[in-house]
Structure 1
């Protein structure tokens, strides 16, 4: 599968030494990209969605959509595997962007999909046909603003959310990590993850204050798994694929999920 960014020994940040970067995060910094775009394009070749299959966790989200139970998928992933899994684009908010489009970083012109695809496949930078500036996929680099759609739908969707499922994240990157705090205080929340994260004792009051200033109806903090007062938070501490398999089985959807998994070559 696609490596994540922070897992010790296997994350992308641990595997970037071959690109001779000043620091691992530089590959996603706009200033470094402008001065030396080749490392990004070489890395992007390894991240192309066409090289990977959606996991059972992706396909569980597809099953939720098929059942009419999916409100929205908010994802930090840039691999577009939700689309490959068959989830409609309007149901997905790619908070950190993805490979589905590309623009010039200088003039903002749209870059032809085929031209960008060929450049990524070759690991070579792509130039704008209008101004000669560098083009990049619509992935949010450090220092760039998240898409306005993320903030707009975060305000409307979580006001109507009746169950929040969080999977496969460290909940360390803001503002995305604050999603767990966005639903109403009575909304059930389930974390399916290899490690615990986003717990209340790790949340700061300053974060809640900033969210309220942005207009979010935040009345609660992080997860309360071990608190005696916990009435809504549940944790499956383990692999996401195993977690969704157990959840699907409990819902009576186990065979349907296995069918989707088989159809995608697993």
Structure 2
């Protein structure tokens, strides 16, 4: 499943042109060769005899045994859009159902323009209309979100890294300091001109009233944009700070519902210690080969070696994120508790959503 929508504007881009031709084919072959060479180099640089093997068996069951043990106390989760699709939020790249395949009504020059900072500055209306449809609060956290919260409650979670902008982790009650929103959040907004900060309630009122959010500071009429990362913008400073502090401590990496296609987020898989087990729960194996440029500049060893004869730590669980998390929780002995939590919390949120729908609306549709 596809989990991402944005990059940080720094990843290498394909040169523009009418067709790649022979030069494009040669360049692609050279990059593939470089990736293969670098992957082989970094893999061979790790002396397997010197690596502590923490899994009793390199299987899903082996990961569960390790998670349950006292040795596993600093779990990092990496999440993409696949953890939210069962909540009714589309991913971005799945053919047919993905968001990028369903933006025709906005008459965009290309689907990704809706998340381009330059296009937003010139034409903010399409994004504002889309934001109304995807606004946090319309959806309930999934069992996968509650599993991440369960990891925290069991004293296992070091940090949850997400590419998603739906803020569903917050609705589970997971503390904000445990969450790193790599691609930003709707929870705050800023003026693009004077940098004045605005609350989520303020920007929501403007978007739901179908008004272009404009700064209310004196002598400023700049556009106000939610603090989500558009193409052409850098990732939040907190992302880089937490990556530097967290990844070296990670003793289990759980990758959930991301195709591992967007950098630098995908490179996190290669920044954990060489002994750290890596569990990937997804419908397919995604882009598990290393990006050669990220390998050079962000750290090596990102390739997930599920099928390598020397694999000692990488496990792939082919399942939806909800199914995979329920199965893992069952094996650890937390499954009944997780199901009860999901049922209880969904009932509570259903009641809140129903109550909110009964509130009076203004003529333009913004809640009073």
What corresponds to 2:335 in structure 1?
Answer: 254
TM-score, normalising length: structure 2: 0.68
How far apart are residue 177 of structure 1 and its match? 0.8
* Cα 1:155–1:9 shift into 2, 3 Å: same
How far apart are residue 134 of structure 1 and its match? 0.5
Report if the CA contact (8 A) 1:104-1:135 is conserved.
yes
Number of positions where the alignment pairs a residue of Structure 1 with one of Structure 2: 258
What corresponds to 1:190 in structure 2?
Answer: 279
Separation in 2, partners of 1:112, 1:252: 40
- 1:80-99 mapped onto 2 (5 Å cutoff): 80-99=167-186
Separation in 1, partners of 2:303, 2:168: 28
2:136 to 49, 59, 83: 49
The answer to whether structure 1 residue 174 and structure 2 residue 263 are counterparts is: yes
- 1:119-130 mapped onto 2 (5 Å cutoff): 119-130=206-217
SS in 1 for 2:340: helix
Separation in 2, partners of 1:21, 1:95: 25
* Cα 1:32–1:71 shift into 2, 3 Å: same
Separation in 1, partners of 2:210, 2:260: 31
How far apart are residue 115 of structure 1 and its match? 2.2
Separation in 1, partners of 2:291, 2:181: 25
Question: Per-residue displacement from partner, 1:15-34 (whole Å, max 9, x unpaired)?
Answer: 11111111111111111111
Q: Which has the higher contact order (CA 8 A, sep 6+)?
A: 2
Task: Give 4+ residue runs of structure 1 displaced > 4 Å after superposition.
Answer: none
Separation in 1, partners of 2:229, 2:275: 32
How far apart are residue 194 of structure 1 and its match? 1.0
SS in 2 for 1:50: coil
TM-score, normalising length: structure 1: 0.94
SS in 2 for 1:111: strand
The answer to whether structure 1 residue 20 and structure 2 residue 107 are counterparts is: yes
What corresponds to 1:136 in structure 2?
Answer: 225
Report if the CA contact (8 A) 1:80-1:98 is conserved.
yes
SS in 2 for 1:100: strand
Separation in 2, partners of 1:6, 1:113: 27
What corresponds to 2:164 in structure 1?
Answer: 77
Question: Per-residue displacement from partner, 1:154-204 (whole Å, max 9, x unpaired)?
Answer: 1110110000000010111110010111101110000000110242xx214
Separation in 2, partners of 1:247, 1:123: 43
How far apart are residue 248 of structure 1 and its match? 0.3
* Cα 1:243–1:122 shift into 2, 3 Å: same
Separation in 1, partners of 2:106, 2:180: 30
Separation in 1, partners of 2:292, 2:93: 26
SS in 1 for 2:249: coil
How far apart are residue 85 of structure 1 and its match? 1.2
How far apart are residue 120 of structure 1 and its match? 2.0
Cα-Cα RMSD = 1.2
